[in-house]
Amino acid sequence: MIETTVAYFAVLVLLQSTLLIMTGCLAMRFCGRQKPVVQSVILRVTLLAILVCPLVSLAAHHLGANSYALLPAWDMNAVAVTDSIPAPETSNPLPTEAGNSEGLPAAHAPLEAMPRPQDPVVTMNIPEASNVSPIAADNATLSTVVLDNQPTGFSLQSLIGWSVTLTWLSGVIFMLTKLLRAYRGITRVVRNSQPAEAPLQNLCRETAERLGQHPPEVLISPVVHAPCLTGIRKPLILLPAQNDLSDSVQRDIFLHELAHLARRDCLYFMLARLATAVLFFQPLVWWLSRRMEQLADDICDDYVIHYGSGRKHYANTLVDFAERLPAPALTTEVGLAMVSQRSALSRRVLRILDTSRVLTLRLPVKWGALILLLGVSATTSAALLVTTPAEESAPQQDAPAQSDENQGTAVKPNSSEQKQESENTGLHLRGNVVSPTGQPVPHASIGYASTGWDQRQRTRLVTTDARGNFEITIPASDPRYAALHNDSMLVALADGYGPAVGSVMQFDLSGEMRKSLLKKIANSHIPLEFLEQSRKRIQNAKPTFQLVADDVPLTGTVVDIEGQPVAGARLQVTQLRATETGSLDAWEAAAQKPGADYYEIGLLLTKAIGNHVGGATLEYIPAVVTDQNGRFTIKGLGRERLVRLLISGPGIATSYVEARTRTGNIIELPLQARSPSSETIVYHPSEFTHVAGPSLPVTGVIRDAKTHQPLPGVKLQSYHLAGHRVSGWSEGLVQAVTDDQGRYRLEGLPIGKNEVICLSARDQPYLLYKFSTELKAGSPAPQQDVELVRGVWANGRTYDQVSGEPVRGGRLVYAPLKGNPFAKSIQKSYALLTSHYRLQKDGTYRMPVLPGPGVIGVMADDHMLYQRGKGAEKLIDQDKQIKAINTTPFWIIATNYHVLAEVNPARDAESVQVDLAFDPGQTLRINVVKQDGAASQSGNYVGLMEEFPSWNGFEQGQLEIRGYRPDRPRRVQVIDAESQQAGFLLINEQNPTDLKITLDPWAEITGRLVDEAGNPKAGVKLSNVYHAISKDPSVALLPPDPEQKSGGTVSYLTDENGRFQIRGMIPGAKYRVAAQEIRKNPIYIELGDFLRGKPLQPGEVRDLGDIIFKRPTESN
């Protein structure tokens, strides 16, 4: 009987829920087609009706209420008819002969199906024979007549009944188990979360008071990817671990989640999940649940639109969080996420941006009462339409116990997984290596290399297995742990393929490195196009190395200037780069466009292995040597790669050569298109001939200047080579090291005047020494002896003066102050080499200095974190236009360093202690508002840092100002290109608060540069006057030029007719502009205030007419 009862109950609920949901749909169609609030209330009432209706049916049945009987068709052929017998004797079921478990129903009971007499399944409610009257037993055997009840019919009924029962109970247990697992998962997330900081809690409290709600607790969790509300009795808000969200974004987040709280969406969401678990076979219930969630998000979005920062701002917030979703969130079943995998994002965004809608946040009381009344009526009608036998209460009492037992078993694996995760420490990497076609590559070697100054070494970590997979676990105590966390990258090598490179974060199982990197770039304020490009690369990075085919090697010949082959020339790889797509098509197309330069096309390239600093070669990529015919072949690079080679050999000048593993023609690019005097880079195809210039060796001995003892282990390297306009590009290209007798032989210098720098061993306090040597063709090899000056060790530590944490990574420089008597010994030989002395990982340093007064400057690697020039005010003349310290033999520019300090060791001192404190200064937040009152979603601004005012990107309507000091007014200049608005603010208050910039329609100027004869001046660069903007913060900067895609300061070029156009000018601001010709030995003039004292008006387009480009006279 139990299988029939449960099956009957399932059919009853299916019919009732179908009727109720159809009624609800009709009500929505006629009452609330365009109003989400009305639809939401109707669906909530419908949900409650679905849950309550079966209980009302049971109650009505037990109260004896009559109703319609809609039995399943297969039940109608097994109806038992009972004779009228005395009620007292037949009110209890009785046993029958042969152990039959059949019972006799009461005379007043409704007609119902009876099991077959031989059915052994039903064994419930059987009284003992001793308690039964013999007369009653006899009556029982004579009173039952079975009509049309063949044995096959009973068998089919039982089979179908048990099939329906087991299927339904199994589904319910499975769905409830899934729900319980989700509940335990979110409980674990909440337990492992941390309370939000006080500002966030306060912001939540303020927002809750605005909505008339009691503020819930706010927690921060590293495992959630979007804000969510969870909990019914004690609700709380979970936020992802992000510190880059502005106050306006956080306020919108709280508005959305608190709207859910005000509507009690968590309760109804849980009831909907229970309904789908019990009625999993009813598709309309699933639709009802999804539709309720959709309407809840829509209404909460309307709350944010009404109370929040603006439609577009909020839509961008949703898109940003949606991009971070890697998988369904843990709160899928038990919480309300602001953005989830089920969120119809595009529909929501279009709805948010639709200004034609009328917002309705709450339903009037009379509407709610009417809908509730209709719901009660519909529930009562559905309950009386179909009733169930009284016996169906029995299986319902047993079902929860069975469900709980299964749920408890199902969650055990999660508990063990949690325990295992808590026991794991250190770094856990996992990934795979595949071929160009996607096939696994076994026995591939995985190692890491530094992304810093020297990448010549690669440390091997592991080899892939037969399926191309690898897994690396490194404890936190392992020295490699710190190396891999310090911006290292992984390199995969395999025979027959080109290497592949990837960031460590791609393979980090915890995901923390990826989050940290995203946070780092979010705080970098790089231009928005680069920021978005970086975000996509990080978010889309997969834990897979895909090697490239090695079917296009570099081949060619090395010859001298007379065309003769050079045998024994050595070719070493110093850098290997690729594009994101793996093809050089886009790179070549961009490189061949007019006006392209090295910096612009470099944006198309992804992370490289190797660099050009110090001539470091990749020793894990084998070098090759030319044969007797000067021929070479370099394999193992991979196709479609850009390669930088270092070519050296006896009698030839060492040089860099750029090539690509692709056939084609030579491509020449300037470093910077707007500076013709800059270096030109030549890219060769895969087959090329390198013409090596001649060279002479330079020999000599290096000694101590005082003792004249030879110094072993001194490194000599090129500082500035002949033929190179930019010294940095030839730094370290040619190298040699002195032997035990202090002797050296330096080969590879080109013909001409070269500068060489000498670097003593790291454990010796000798100062840097630079000397010049001029090589002439046909002349004998020169000899140059050198005497190094021994100094005093300057030791110290660097630290953040607010947090006390060490400054990890940076470069140092030293120079003696002018007037130091000991400076004469290095007056002509001392050199500036900014990359040589560096901070250690613990923030300490050691570098040699001279006795007497001098200056140490240090620049942290994170150059946007601290204000520059701290300590310079005591060392420089404030009246000078350039903030330079009077050191010798070169000036130290204060704005090139974060901290500067004077050092003055005694003559006989062995060391001196100088600690350097970095000051982050005060951080300010400025809201940016457009003319319509909405927040500016994105744009560029000046004012992030005090020195070197440059354009940085901002998002979400808020700017960050770092290192503010009241004694130094700060210029803040904003441009919103999308709305074509701009604004300006000068901050000079002691404790500025509630800062806001309201943008105006920007202005535009045009004009023409002409010479004194009226002829147009083409190719003239217009730029800011640096000393004017440095001295006067009220002077505005020229806006960024959208046509200027390469590096360098903002500038505008006149066209062939001498005309120029500048958009994005600040209404009412003053400017100081200079003009400079783009050619060798250019003329530079300051145009000054070319607006002629007449400020620009909002939206104005002004033609300045002809501006005379007049060569300055000597009196000027």
CA–CA distance from 779 to each of 691, 774, 776, 782 (Å)?
A: 21, 10, 5, 8
Sequential DSSP letters for 798-823: EEETTT--B--SEEEEEEEBTT-GGG
Give residue 535's pLDDT. 80
Query: What per-residue confidence (pLDDT) applies to 466?
Result: 94
| Whether domain 550-692 has CATH 2.60.40.1120 | yes
715-751 confidence digits (pLDDT tens): 999 888 887 655 556 677 889 999 999 999 999 999 9
Banded model confidence at residue 456, pLDDT cuts 50, 70, 90? low
So what's the pLDDT on residue 157? 62
Q: How far apart are CA 957 and CA 976, in angstroms?
A: 10
What is the arithmetic mean of pLDDT over 28-55?
A: 78
* % of the chain surpassing 90 pLDDT: 32
d(CA 409, CA 917): 58
Task: Return the minimum-mean-pLDDT range out of 109-118, 171-180, 456-465, 999-1008.
Answer: 109-118
Least confidently predicted of 500-514, 719-733, 825-839, 896-910: 719-733
Does 1041 or 890 have the greater pLDDT score? 890
Instruction: Give the start-to-end residue ranges of the domains of the chain.
Output: 2-150, 424-547, 550-692, 791-920, 922-1000, 1002-1108
Q: How confident is the model at residue 428 (pLDDT cuts 50, 70, 90)?
A: very high
CA–CA gap between residue 258 and residue 661 (Å, rounded): 58
User: How much is the pLDDT for 420?
Assistant: 41
In this prediction, residues 441-446 reach a mean pLDDT of: 94
pLDDT digits (tens, 9 = 90+) for 305-344: 888 877 777 887 777 777 665 544 444 445 666 665 445 6
Higher pLDDT, 347 or 382: 347
pLDDT category, 35, cuts 50, 70, 90? confident
Tell which wins on pLDDT, 362 or 573. 573
Query: Residue 683: which of 664, 656, 659 has the closest Cα?
Result: 659
- Domains 791-920 and 922-1000 are alike in CATH topology: yes
Please give the CATH topology (third level) of the domain spanning 791-920: Immunoglobulin-like (2.60.40)
Cα(506)–Cα(484) distance, integer angstroms? 12
The CATH label, of 1.10.3470, 2.60.40, 1.20.120, 2.40.160, for the domain at 424-547 is: 2.60.40
Q: Where are the beta strands (DSSP E) in 317-468?
A: 335-337, 427-434, 445-449, 459-463
**pLDDT tens column, 598-657:** 877 877 776 666 655 555 667 778 899 999 999 999 999 999 999 999 999 989 999 999
Residue type, 32: G
| 226 compared with 551, residue with greater pLDDT | 551
CA–CA distance, 843 with 860 (Å, rounded to integer): 10
Q: Note the pLDDT of residue 755.
A: 92
Which DSSP string corresponds to 262-312?
Answer: HHTHHHHHHHHHHHHHHTTT-HHHHHHHHHHHHHHHHHHHHHHHHHSS-HH
CA distances 586 to 644, 657, 987, Å, are: 19, 22, 45
Rg (CA), the chain: 40
CB atoms near residue 316 (< 10 Å): 19
pLDDT tens-digit map of 86-109: 333 333 333 333 333 333 233 333
Which tokens in the block code for residue 315?
């839509």
Distance CA 279, CA 795 (A): 74
Render pLDDT for 745-769 as a digit per residue (tens, 0 to 9): 999 999 999 999 999 998 999 999 9
> Left (φ > 0), alpha (ψ -120 to 50) or beta: where does 1105 sit?
left
- For the segment 864-885, the average pLDDT, to the nearest whole number, is 79
| 662-677 tens-digit pLDDT | 999 999 988 777 665 5
Q: Name the residue type at position 489.
A: M
How much of the chain, in percent, has pLDDT values that exceed 70? 76
Pick the CATH number of 922-1000 from 1.10.10.10, 3.40.50.150, 2.60.40.1120, 1.10.1060.10: 2.60.40.1120
The predicted structure's pLDDT at residue 502: 87
Q: Quick one: pLDDT band at residue 1046, thresholds 50, 70, 90? A: very low
Q: What is the pLDDT of residue 527?
A: 63
Look at residue 140 and tell me whether its pLDDT is greater than 60. no
DSSP string, 455-473: ----EEEEE--TTSEEEEE
Over residues 977-987, the pLDDT tens digits come to: 889 999 999 99
**What is the rounded CA–CA span in Å between residue 328 and residue 4?**
39
pLDDT-derived band of residue 1004, with 50, 70 and 90 as boundaries? Answer: very high
CATH of 1002-1108, one of 2.60.40.1120, 3.30.465.10, 2.60.120.260, 3.90.1150.10: 2.60.40.1120
Query: Which helix (H) or strand (E) element contains residue 414?
Result: helix 412-423
pLDDT tens digits for 680-696?
Answer: 889 999 999 999 999 99
Instruction: Return the pLDDT at 614.
Output: 55
Sequence-distant (≥ 6) Cβ neighbours of residue 683 within 8 angstroms: 591, 642, 658, 659, 660, 666, 667, 668, 669
Secondary structure class of 336 (helix, strand, coil): strand
Q: pLDDT class for 813, splitting at 50, 70, 90?
A: very high
